[in-house]
Amino acid sequence: MNRSRLPNDTSVLSVVRSRNDARLPGVGGVLRREYEGKVYEVRVLKEGFSFQGRRYTSLSTIARDITGTIWNGFLFFGLAKYPAKAVKRDQKKKAS
């Protein structure tokens, strides 16, 4: 079982930190992301997230389910900036 997905019973949600993260909209808010021509919506819950009828503890897991690759969920949904070090590294590669 993937530990990032929550069971339907929400009584076991003590590990979720998302509700305290200032980058997220309030409970009931919706995150939208277009990826490969399709719009995906994730609802913010009191403890976790809801995506396509399933509960998750991690935006990264949702991003991986959408793309098939590993993503930082906050970056994928546009809630965080790309790390400055990575930007500089990418710019150096392009300049070479």
**pLDDT tens per residue, range 19-67:** 568 889 999 999 999 999 999 999 999 999 999 999 999 999 999 999 9
For residue 11, pLDDT beyond 90 = no
Q: Report the first-to-last Cα separation within the chain, whole angstroms.
A: 44
pTM of the model: 0.66
Banded pLDDT at 90 (limits 50, 70, 90): low
Domain boundaries, the chain: 5-95
| Cβ contact 47:27 at 8 Å | no
The DSSP letter of residue 73 is H
Listing from the earlier edge strand, what are the strands of the sheet with 38-45? 5-6, 54-56, 48-51, 38-45, 30-35
pLDDT at 8: 46
